[in-house]
Amino acid sequence: MPALHPKHIHGIEGQDPLWERIREETRIAIAGEAILASFMHATILHHEELESALSFHLANQLDSPSASSMMLRDVFLEAFSSDETTRRAIRDDLNAVLERDSACHEYHLPFLYFKGFHALQIHRVGHWLWQQGRHSLALFLQSRMAQKFAIDIHPAAILGHGILLDHGSGLVVGETAVVGNRVSILQSVTLGGTGKVDGDRHPKIGDGVLISAGAKILGNIRVGEGAKVGAGSVVLKDVPPHTTVAGVPARVVGVPTSENPALDMDHDFPESDW
């Protein structure tokens, strides 16, 4: 099924078209795989709201002797219930997966199974806690997320909406990093510092940027909007908007084929750029 139009995924008061779509997809999935019926009922169909289901699902994944799933669920639900911006971002992130990930054609799949989506939502809760001054709990969630998913995002980092963390394994995002809206990031990417320098020391990623697998972007530098960073590149200097960079160290090798390469997910370079 095609993705919902962005203007429809948030619905109007009392309605949530995206959540109804997820529930309908789940009913169809149960009909095709009855062995998962109990799991899908408990995780999705038992819940009237997306936030309730997501809190339940994420808490169960991070359950540990140190912090039970019941306690964590209360924390997640508190964050989701207190922050309208986060609720909207969750839906934009789900839409980003369906629109950009060629392996995904239904909304319930990333909701249930995609660790990039899960880690991103856990970070959103951690960032909300960080802003509330609850740093210890925010760092606890970061630690559990890294142990569970091999994705390490500092809770102070600022991430926009409509983000795709494709696969996500090995992703590291530092404390003062900022990631804009409608950005796509693949596995083994680092948004890191360059040493023991304190203060503002991590990259700033503009809207619509595509960061391919294994890229390392280091230091307090800016990757301009609509730029593309090639796989395995090491970026140590600012990247101008709407350019393609690649190499070690990275240099400008051309321009993306569109204004927003994050939406195209085209990791190739035109022959004219070789």
SS (H, E, C) the chain: CCCCCHHHCCCCCCCCHHHHHHHHHHHHHHHHCHHHHHHHHHHHHCCCCHHHHHHHHHHHHHCCCCCCHHHHHHHHHHHHHHCHHHHHHHHHHHHHHHHHCCCCCCCHHHHHHCHHHHHHHHHHHHHHHHHCCCHHHHHHHHHHHHHHHCCEECCCCEECCCCEECCCCCCEECCCCEECCCCEECCCCEEECCCCCCCCCCCEECCCCEECCCCEEECCCEECCCCEECCCCEECCCECCCCEEECCCCEEEECCCCCCHHHHCCCCCCHHHC
State whether 2 and 128 are in the same domain.
Answer: yes
At residue 269, the pLDDT reads 72
Report how far residue 253's alpha carbon sits from residue 247's, in angstroms, rounded to the nearest whole number.
9
State whether 145 and 216 are in the same domain.
Answer: no
* Residue 69 phi, psi (nearest 5): -60, -35
List of the chain residues with pLDDT < 50: 272, 274
> Which sign, positive or negative, has the C-alpha torsion 165, 121, 89, 42?
positive
How many residues are present in the chain?
Answer: 274
Examine the fold and report which residue of 130, 150, 170 is the final residue of a domain before the chain moves on.
Answer: 150
State whether 51 and 130 are in the same domain.
Answer: yes
State whether 144 and 235 are in the same domain.
Answer: no
At residue 160, the pLDDT reads 98
Plot region of 199 (φ>0 → left; ψ -120 to 50 → alpha; else → beta) = left
State whether 135 and 178 are in the same domain.
Answer: no
At residue 197, the pLDDT reads 80
- Number of domains within the chain: 2
At residue 239, the pLDDT reads 98
Q: What is the CATH number of the domain that holds 75?
A: 1.10.3130.10
What's the pLDDT tens digit per position in 81-119?
998 999 999 999 999 999 999 999 999 999 999 999 999
At residue 188, the pLDDT reads 97
At residue 248, the pLDDT reads 96
| Domain carrying residue 102 | 1-150
Examine the fold and report which residue of 150, 167, 190 is the final residue of a domain before the chain moves on.
Answer: 150
At residue 71, the pLDDT reads 95
State whether 8 and 143 are in the same domain.
Answer: yes
State whether 143 and 184 are in the same domain.
Answer: no
State whether 224 and 251 are in the same domain.
Answer: yes
State whether 127 and 21 are in the same domain.
Answer: yes
Examine the fold and report which residue of 124, 150, 176 is the final residue of a domain before the chain moves on.
Answer: 150
State whether 234 and 267 are in the same domain.
Answer: yes
At residue 156, the pLDDT reads 98
At residue 1, the pLDDT reads 58
State whether 188 and 132 are in the same domain.
Answer: no
Q: What is the CATH number of the domain that holds 178?
A: 2.160.10.10
State whether 172 and 223 are in the same domain.
Answer: yes
At residue 198, the pLDDT reads 87
CA dihedral defined by 107, 111, 112, 113, rounded to 10 degrees? 90
At residue 5, the pLDDT reads 56
